[in-house]
Amino acid sequence: MFQHRCRNDDPYFINLDHYTIIENLQDNEIYPEVLRVAGMTDSTELRYELQNNIYVIKEPPNDNHWLEDFPQHVLEAKMKLDL
């Protein structure tokens, strides 16, 4: 995800953030660790709630976090037509 920042941050006024998206957490390999850390036990009710939510986890910034301009593939992207 690109975020346009204030021009006071020149020359790096765009930052690029990365996120991990997890759907159906109960089916993910990290589920047992999540239960352990949260001090919870697996249950039908918990699985039902987890399958009805999406988890968005922001990743730590990497070397490409601060940008002077949008990448070329973004600048050349075409607008979607209204359907």
Q: One digit per residue, pLDDT tens: the chain, 83 residues?
A: 555 555 555 666 678 888 999 999 999 999 999 999 999 999 999 999 999 999 999 999 888 788 877 888 888 888 777 55
DSSP 8-71: GGTT--EEE--EEEEESGGGSTTHHHHHHHHT----HHHHHHHHT-EEEEEPPP-TTSEESS--
| pLDDT of amino acid 82 | 59
What are the extents of the domains in the chain? Answer: 2-69
pLDDT digits (tens, 9 = 90+) for 15-26: 888 899 999 999
| Confidence (pLDDT) at 7 | 58
